[in-house]
Amino acid sequence: MSKFYSRAEERVSALREVSCDIKAGEFVGLAGPSGSGKSTLLNVLGLTDAPSSGSLSLQGEPVDFSKEAALRELRRTKIGYVFQYFNLVPSLTATENVAISLLLNGCSYRAAAAQARELLAKVGLEARALHLPQQLSGGEMQRVAFCRAIIHKPRLLLADEPTGNLDSHTGDAILDLIAEAALGGAGVIMASHNEQALKRCSRVMRMRDGALRA
Ligand SMILES: Nc1ncnc2c1ncn2[C@@H]1O[C@H](COP(=O)(O)OP(=O)(O)OP(=O)(O)O)[C@@H](O)[C@H]1O
Ligand SMILES: [Mg+2]
């Protein structure tokens, strides 16, 4: 796949003929300098952005980027995405932000909120369940965003610097949960600048200037 961004006269090549295969159960790292295209690649794999050229298959099915409703359905059911900048809903509590992934899939509010609280407790946030995002620290928001991405047991988990704002102890707890998702059969891809975190991966892809290095 390739991805260009056009802005007035200038054209940025954010992805240059990237080809990759993420298998079920794999925990793949994605490394590379700032601006090398990691988030762009995750956005395309997470079906939040269309490639400019090339194609993508999910569980063997080609993805049609022109069908917005089908994309929404795939994102809701099969994909979990820990965004680099969290993207929490400001008017919802931590519990509700996490429960959203279950509510959209038809779960009752009571059951979704109970599961969300249980997962928040696993990342040390039982005492923050009713806080709004603006009442959370950066690392706490990151953990809420993480819980939202995994609670519906996605087949494909995309994590963009999921431990970027965390101390090593809390970061390890997140990495344990990511590894657990892969053991449960999800394909996982994690962008990170942290070589320590990348050591947890089964393999690491490295990017430079929008291309995957051999
Ligand atoms: N919407 C956009 N319009 C124009 N250029 C963009 C846009 N989004 C990203 N870019 C450019 O594409 C390139 C790749 O950006 P990307 O966010 O994928 O990098 P990254 O590897 O995730 O960096 P970081 O480690 O800093 O998060 C950068 O040069 C960036 O400036
Ligand atoms: Mg990025």
From 1, 4, 15, 40, the mutation candidate for ligand 1 (largest count of ligand atoms within 8 A of CB) is 40
From 7, 12, 13, the mutation candidate for ligand 1 (largest count of ligand atoms within 8 A of CB) is 12
Q: What is the overall mean pLDDT for the chain?
A: 95
Residue nearest to atom 6 of ligand 1 (CA): 5
Specify whether domain 3-89+139-212 bears CATH 3.40.640.10.
no
- Do the bridges between strand 57-58 and strand 156-160 make them parallel or antiparallel, or are there none, so unpaired? unpaired
Q: How do residues 89-132 score in pLDDT, each as one tens digit? A: 999 999 999 999 999 999 999 999 999 999 999 999 999 999 99
Which tokens go with 57?
A: 């298959």
- pLDDT of 214 > 80? The answer is no
Q: How do residues 78-89 score in pLDDT, each as one tens digit? A: 999 999 899 999
pLDDT confidence tier of residue 9, bands split at 50, 70 and 90:
confident
What's the confidence (pLDDT) of residue 122? 93
What's the confidence (pLDDT) of residue 165? 86
B/e letters for 138-163, b = 16+ CB within 10 Å, e = fewer, are ebbbbbbbbbbbbbbebbbbbbbbbb
- 22 and 156 in contact (C-beta within 8 Å)? yes
Q: How do residues 12-57 score in pLDDT, each as one tens digit? A: 999 999 999 999 999 999 999 999 999 999 999 999 999 999 999 9
pTM of the predicted structure, to 2 decimals: 0.94
pLDDT confidence tier of residue 8, bands split at 50, 70 and 90:
confident
Q: Domain residues of the chain, as ranges?
A: 3-89+139-212
Those residues with Cβ within 8 angstroms of residue 73's Cβ, 6 or more apart along the chain or in another chain? none
